[in-house]
Structure 1
Amino acid sequence: MEVVAVRRGAVRSVVVAGLLVLGAAGVPGLPGMSGSARAWTGPEADVAYHGRVSLSRGLLRVWVVPQNEGPAALSDATLRVRLSAELADRQELAEGCARAGLREVMCETGALPLHGRGRHIGLLLALKEPVPEVVVRIDTWWNGGASDRDLSNNQHTVLALDTGDSYAF
């Protein structure tokens, strides 16, 4: 399994994916959409995330393993990590990750094969100020245009206390 290296950089597909999602929401007749009911006719996949979160002295560690339970493979997806506390102004993010706001980071998952795992995503996020706890919300921002009937395994909310303890999801 591939571990994402830490470097300064930007996500290649987050902006493009966002435009596709926004375009699909408001433009009738786009591929994958049919009729006025806009029934989805694209592939179906079941994206899931498993991992750990820990907080210690203003540093939040997030480790995520994306996976796909199928029935279709995905060429890419975008993981979103939202925090209840503000991020420090400067961050060194893992390759394929980009800051998306004061409290938000987006990361590419890479290819998600049918019944397989994507690359491991490791983040070390500095908070603007040390806090006694932080709520971390992890979900899918974009899933390659597939439908996902089971959102329970890709939407997680984790409360991390400033103890250095690891909280699994």
Structure 2
Amino acid sequence: MEVVAVRRGAVRSVVVAGLLAWGGVAGSVPAAAGAAGPAVGPEADVAYHGRVALARGQVRILLVPQNEGPAALPNTTVRLRLSADLADRQQWSGGCARAGVREVVCETGGLPPHGPGRHLGLVLALREEAPEVVVRIDTWWNGGATDRNHANNEHVVLALDTGDTYAF
């Protein structure tokens, strides 16, 4: 398994595109997100698999994005939300950026149809050590694709401060 860093500046264009698509307000839900209506983009099925570990105030995340749908996607953005505040200083993986006090977004790069994308590895420092952290993983932006199965791209992982690895 090879961990590949994504381009450092590319996440900015994905974040900006996501903000524009969602009316310019970070964290707001697009008007079409839950509304029934005709599909507007290619059919795809973004999924995430990986693991989370917490030890001594550091959350380690290995994430493998995958497209189980029929159409290729040129890029997507995964969002990671933590139940604890992130430290002010972080060593970011390329293509990742802070989106809030407890939130990080990372571009995945291209996702081929019925195949995995590049592996993302992050080590996130917490502001203070915590006995446990909940990590929520979901798709923040998928380029306008229609994804009918959110069960495989929305995860909630509880990691205890033991160094043990929790898979999703």
What interval of TM-score do these two structures reach, taking the shorter chain for normalisation? Answer: 0.7 to 0.9
Q: Would the aligned equivalents of 2:75 and 2:143 in 1 still touch at CA under 8 Å?
A: yes
* 2:16 aligned partner, one-letter code: V
Cα shift at 1:7: 9.5
CA distance in 2, matches of 1:156, 1:150: 13
1:135 aligns to 2:134 (yes or no): yes
Match of 1:21 in 2: 22
**1:72–1:10 distance in 2 versus 1, CA, 3 Å:** closer
CA distance in 1, matches of 2:57, 2:10: 23
CA distance in 2, matches of 1:25, 1:10: 22
CA distance in 2, matches of 1:89, 1:101: 11
TM-score with structure 2 length normalisation? 0.87
Match of 1:81 in 2: 80
**1:125–1:10 distance in 2 versus 1, CA, 3 Å:** farther
Percentage identity across paired residues of the two chains: 69
**1:93–1:142 distance in 2 versus 1, CA, 3 Å:** same
* 2:62 aligned partner, one-letter code: W
**1:85–1:104 distance in 2 versus 1, CA, 3 Å:** same
SS in 2 for 1:91: coil
* 2:3 aligned partner, one-letter code: V
**1:10–1:87 distance in 2 versus 1, CA, 3 Å:** farther
| 88-97 or 1-10, larger mean C-alpha shift | 1-10
Cα shift at 1:92: 1.0
CA RMSD of aligned residues (A): 2.4
Match of 2:166 in 1: 167
CA distance in 1, matches of 2:41, 2:117: 21
Cα shift at 1:148: 0.5
Question: Highest Rg: 1 or 2?
Answer: 1
TM-score with structure 1 length normalisation? 0.87
| 5-14 or 72-81, larger mean C-alpha shift | 5-14
Q: Would the aligned equivalents of 2:7 and 2:95 in 1 still touch at CA under 8 Å?
A: no
Instruction: Please list, as runs of the form range in 1=range in 2, the aligned pairs for 1:32-47 lying within 5 A after superposition.
Output: 38-47=37-46
Match of 1:29 in 2: none
SS in 1 for 2:17: helix
Q: Would the aligned equivalents of 1:7 and 1:94 in 2 still touch at CA under 8 Å?
A: no
CA distance in 1, matches of 2:106, 2:58: 18
Cα shift at 1:22: 2.7
1:4 aligns to 2:9 (yes or no): no
CA distance in 2, matches of 1:130, 1:7: 30
Match of 2:52 in 1: 53
Match of 1:123 in 2: 122
